[in-house]
Structure 1
Amino acid sequence: MKETLSKKETPVIIGAGIIIGVIAAALVYFGNPANMGFCIACFLRDTTGALGFHSAAAVQYIRPEIVGLVLGSCILALATKEFKPRGGSAPVSRFVIGMFVMIGCLMFLGCPFRMILRLAGGDFNAIFGLIGFIAGILAGVFFLKKGYTLKRSYKMQPVEGGIFPIVEIGILVLLIAAPAFIHFTEVDGGPGAKHAAIAISLIAGLLVGALAQRTRLCMVGGIRDVVLFGEWKLLLGFIAILVSAFIGNMILGYFNPGFAGQPIAHTDGLWNALGMALAGFGCVLLGGCPLRQLVLAGEGNTDSAITVFGLMAGAAVAHNFGLASSGEGPTANGKIAVIIGFVVLIVIATVNSVRKSEA
């Protein structure tokens, strides 16, 4: 029965991946930064800056794609009766892990989603990120096998699950109204100044959010499931994104193979790898990548909402304290923060691991 179900799900997941890859390439055509049709880490960072939580002028813009992801997931979850508010599973730990996942992503300059899109655009620096990402996931799997868990979550009232989607609607209103206290990038060439029209970005986010909710797409979950269970269906979805985005980039003339001169990227292979290793490790401890956390938050999961707030806090910390990399490479502060991140995550993973015989 399980094998039959898997066979039915796999074509749907691959189809969703193809559509998402096309959308990502199209968003670049409509104005998003190159190799950044979608990047959860970058878009949360931009939104955090627009709300005034960091002052890096080059990366401040409320990204409608984030709003769309959450609302697309929420709408489909409500329609399919999968909106199930739950929470209460180690919220402080999730917040802290989320912070360090973002710090790792901003060392690499992209989340797992953007790592795939950078590869599809010919950015070979992302190969080092992928190697580190897999290594980080393997570290997380090691602790899973030791019994790691953040314990169970609990059923909550619908209003609790609805708060985060409502917050996202409020953020969309702020984008459209553009009051004086919202910050928008005016720096020529800054990533925050490059974006598709609001309606296009919002519709793209809604579509990707609904597709990701329907298929449970998660880059971390895909690799984890291959390692633990030999199950490829989730990973095939991201391979489909890679292939379709690559074809889209070739058609649109965005494919630029090489290491040097890549958009919003640096060439330090070691720290590209270590940044994504930290992100991969943290995402396994959280139970999903940043994309998956947004989708779960849309389904009413308050633990994932707390994680997203942790990611945003990590973006604020990274830019307020000079931790984020740039096209020039990683900073000394960023390197120290990544090392601290590994120590913190190992401590959290160890403390929350129990022997299988005691579980």
Structure 2
Amino acid sequence: MFWTKRVVIGDAERGLMYRNRQFERVLAPGVYRLFDPFNQAAVTVHPTLPAEYAGRDAETLIDALGARLGETFVLAEIGSEQVGLVCRHGKLEDVLVPGTRKLYWRGPAQVTVQTLPLGGDLRVPADVVRRLRQLGVLARVAVFVEVPTESAGLVFIDGSLTQMLAPGAYAFWNFQKNVAAEVIDLRVQSIEVQGQELLTRDKVSLRVNLAATVRVIDPVAARTKVAKYLDQLYRELQYGLRKVVSSRTLDELLGDKATLDADIFASVRGQLGAFGVEALGVGVKDVILPGEMRQILNGVVQAEKTAQANVIRRREEANATRSLLNTARLIEDSPVLMRLKELEALEKVTEKIDRLTVFGGLDGVLKQLVTLK
């Protein structure tokens, strides 16, 4: 008939009928003949997949349907302190930010909306974190932080430190507030201060390399009391090294390295503890002198060693002379000892002679060959 309209709504579709541009009713799947002699009726057909209603008149539909809204739509109304999780057939599909209001078609896709409170610390429950990671939207809606073993995590909300995290994996909703997380390493670390040009108390210029082992014992102090604790640590080691070196002469520095290390350690330990860092050990690795100074020191060492060698030589010569004098006195008092010395001399002479002719027999050898007067 000329005054009717034929409208067909498919199984995966819904129709919204308007008369004079005012919402009238929802059309379920089927075939309809609408009486419209003045062409005042209009029907918009919407697919139910995807399930989210894409029209611009969602608020109008909510008011118009009232109590009957649940027959056609699922209303997602998220409060200002809530987060919405949209699930289809039990699987997470989307995350709704606080203050969201959306409609989803009831149809082939079984859509449910779960609301979660943001909470004061904004922490995301562990089971929700796994679902968000599977969906691939975790980085978009939350701040994820992984704290390794022997580390500590610090969480800042709107610039204020709110909590410290033990090793593990965490996520925090990134809605309405600015959330940031940092990881502080609590393991023992080695710091090297190299190439420091210093002046000793006796005005000798030298270059020193220093090594230190430290660890963070108070992550909160290390992060909040100084801007960058590693830079501050390096500077404190520099200051401590300069202070100790400038109070000693070159001979003192080179002669007692253990005391030098202990004094540097004592100087920096208190300074490092003020911002949550503990010094475990400090040691001077290298003391590098200029070329001219090395030559001078080499000359001094050579002269000292030469003098020591001369002293030892003189001492040994004096000991040898004293021994000879004692031997002579013994020989003078003992004829038998004298005769033994004569025989020793004879033995040494005969060792260097190939042939020896003796007259007068053995008695002649003993009495006439060697005679000491």
Which structure: greater strand fraction?
A: 2
Please tell me whether Structure 1 or Structure 2 has the larger radius of gyration of its CA atoms. 2
Q: What interval of TM-score do these two structures reach, taking the shorter chain for normalisation?
A: under 0.3
Q: Which has the higher contact order (CA 8 A, sep 6+)?
A: 1
Output the TM-score relative to the length of structure 1: 0.16
